[in-house]
Amino acid sequence: MKPFEAKARIEILRKEIEDHNHRYYVQNQPLISDFEYDVLLNELETLEKKFPEFKKDDSPSQRVGSDIKNEFEQFDHEYPMLSLGNTYNEDELREFDNRTKKTASGSFNYSCELKFDGASVSITYIDGKLSRALTRGDGNKGDDVTENVKTITSIPLSVRGSNVPEKFTVRGEIVMPRVVFEGLNNERTKENQPAFANPRNAAAGTLKLLDSRIVGSRNLDCLVYVVLSDELPHDTHSENLKAVAGWGFKVPDSIRLCKNIEEVLKYISTWENQRKQLPFDTDGVVIKVDDLSIQEELGFTSKSPRWAIAYKYKAEEALTKLLSVAFQVGRTGAVTPVANLEPVLLSGSTVKRATLHNAEQIAILDLHLGDMVYVEKGGEIIPKIVGVDHSFRNEESRRIEFIKSCPECGTFLVKNEGESNHFCPNYLHCPPQLKGRIEHFISRKAMDIDGLGEETIDLLFSNNLIRTFADLYDLGQEQLVPLERLGEKSATNIINSILKSVRVPFHRVLFALGIRHVGETVAKTLASRFDSIDSLINAGSDELTSVNEIGPKIATSIITYFADQENMELIRRLKAKGIRFTSEKTKGISGNKLEGMVIVISGIFQKHTREEYKEIIENNGGKNSTSVSSNTSFILAGENMGQSKKDKANELGIQILDEQEFLKIIDEE
């Protein structure tokens, strides 16, 4: 593939993946399967590696999705909840094994675990008592579902046992047994309520209910798959899981240690059919390096660990009738065709819709209205049409044609050369695109405006109260109170959060504007180089591209954005409301006294908290580690240092420094 072809394909993939991210994480209306999504993401990552000149910080390959809802309070994860890389075949699994063995400094075992299909939760215990439970969220923050989690009987409210750390976090999958799922759906059908699509959706939906009494009535279960702490009792993942089981948690007994990739493949083969006899849904196997020091050595990418991978089992197929095709517009303007199907049972749930991707896919399938189509549920989640049984076709049936105009605003669609998607170019006035930009503006990493989810934005939009994100700052409480589902309390919270957002720093405001190719990292880079929006507006192409990591494409996008008078009017209005369009120079602790050092923190300290010491280490050029290995430079030890870390340090001859000795190194008085 030539560079210009790769560049065009990368742009197509980024747009398509971002649209699917929005549908999955924000709208909760995914159009493609996990498998299809992974194929798209894998293709993007492969092209970005092969053509690194086109890799950007705001690419969806650098993102982790979010399940955050505004109804719950959010908190930071002490340990980020990253996603896992996926594979669907043996060759890719062997590549993972070869890559891991080349990087690891010693031999290791793999821990193989069934991948249960539910909702991930992170539960922190302090002094043996359940302190807080968070959903996965966006990987950095999650929703506080503590009260709901306390109703799940397999999750202990307090723990006892040997070597229990003062503070630790378990992560597990909240699952709903199939028999409970079937009973719940029967009840909902009798009460004329919509049935859940599958046990995973039922578990995730139940976990987010505001009434914990209902949560407690649905017999959810929790299967723990990892424990995290600065004071873990053992040096391997599997031994720590055994310890967790001894503390009273439910750990699946299907976990096995494998000495090599051949044993891993045998485990996968054994469970491919046996898993269907389990009371819970599974969709694959998770393979992890068992030794924690080697996990530390292998490290992470921006969104996933290098020491673990998920193998997904093959999808199932069914034959059903194509009733119609609808066309939906995403926030980027991409138009996606969606097939409406005669309901059919597939992988334990009823399928009524499937994705068709784009005009090319419709043409390849040669789809006609009323066709009998093969539907595949890749990743056992969202289906796609993979073929047509022509023996059932009525020769008089009408061929499916891709639309020529936007179904939302009527604008003629465009299809750029080398791209597969059709787009609505009316980005300043097409409703889904307008609402999508507002949703981006209010998001947590941008202006962080609480109380304004997708439904509320749609409500304000349909009542003609907003058309742009600048309109948010003209809203009054008296306009919100009469609206459906709001009321005085919600209106007050929304207005207060909007007013609070004027204090958001410049780099996040820049990100919130939604300038194409200006993601979170690029916005920070620009804000550090240009101290105001005006200096950025006046910057020419040469000045922009002189900034590290700002290439011609980003520079052109920035110049194009500020050349649009409607965008400039939005900025003028935001300025008038007091939004911060200038950088505030902050003093940061800097130094290189710990340059190249790997430091493990253990125990309780007097002068600084453990979190403060982690920050001090990073600010002085050091790297924090949670496990002791031959790479450890020294251990910063406080009172009640973990015995396992002390034993490992003595075994490896690693120096142990107390708090005062450490402070002398960094010259803190």
Set out the domains of the chain in order of their start, with CATH numbers: 3-63+315-392 (2.40.50.140), 74-312 (3.30.470.30), 431-576 (1.10.150.20), 598-665 (3.40.50.10190)
Across the beta sheet with 256-258, the strand order is 86-87, 308-312, 282-289, 110-116, 256-258
The 10s digit of each residue's pLDDT in 527-563 is: 878 889 999 999 999 999 888 778 888 999 899 999 9
- Share above pLDDT 70 across residues of the chain, in percent, rounded to a whole number: 93
**Per-residue pLDDT at 73 exceeds 60:** yes
- Is the pLDDT score of 341 beyond 50? yes
- The answer to whether the beta carbons of residues 380 and 117 sit under 8 Å apart is yes
Q: What pLDDT was estimated at residue 65?
A: 47
Q: Helix, strand, coil shares of the chain as percentages rounded to 5? A: 40, 20, 40
pLDDT category, 378, cuts 50, 70, 90? low
**Site of tokens 């076709």:** 393
Phi/psi at 438 (5° precision): -65, -40
Question: How much is the pLDDT for 588?
Answer: 40
Q: What distance in Å separates the CA atoms of residue 294 and residue 277, rounded to the nearest whole number?
A: 34
Query: Which of the following is catalytic: 15, 115, 141, 312?
Result: 115
pLDDT in tens, 396-421: 899 999 999 999 999 999 987 767 78
The confidence score (pLDDT) of residue 585 equals 47
pLDDT tens for 361-371 read: 888 899 999 99
- Per the structure block, which two tokens stand in for 348? 């334990």
Alpha-helical segments (H) within 191-328: 199-207, 212-217, 237-246, 261-274, 292-298
Model confidence at 22, pLDDT cuts 50, 70, 90, reads: low
The average pLDDT across 336-343 equals 91
pLDDT above 70 (res 186): yes
Q: 411 near 460, Cβ under 8 Å?
A: no
Distance CA 439, CA 22 (A): 10
In 356-508, the DSSP E strands lie at 372-376, 384-389, 422-423
Q: How confident is the model at residue 324 (pLDDT cuts 50, 70, 90)?
A: very high
Write out pLDDT tens, residues 136-146. Answer: 988 888 889 99
Greater confidence, 224 or 640? 224
Spell out the residues 6+ positions from residue 85 whose beta carbon is closer than 8 angstroms to its own.
96, 304, 308, 309, 310
Indicate the average pLDDT of the chain: 86
552 and 545 Cβ atoms separated by less than 8 Å = yes
**Where is 486: in which H helix or E strand?**
none
Query: Which pLDDT score is estimated for 350?
Result: 80
Active site residue 56: no
- C-alpha dist (Å) from residue 60 to 6, 65, 625, 647: 16, 9, 28, 43
Q: What is the pLDDT of residue 23?
A: 62
Average confidence (pLDDT) over 96-123: 93
pLDDT given for residue 64 in this prediction: 46
Q: What is the DSSP string of 498-557?
A: HHHGGGS-HHHHHHHTT-TT--HHHHHHHHHH-SBHHHHHT--HHHHHTSTT--HHHHHH
Which of these ranges, 26-30, 273-277, 323-327, 480-484, has the smallest mean pLDDT? Answer: 26-30
Whether pLDDT at 83 is above 70 = yes
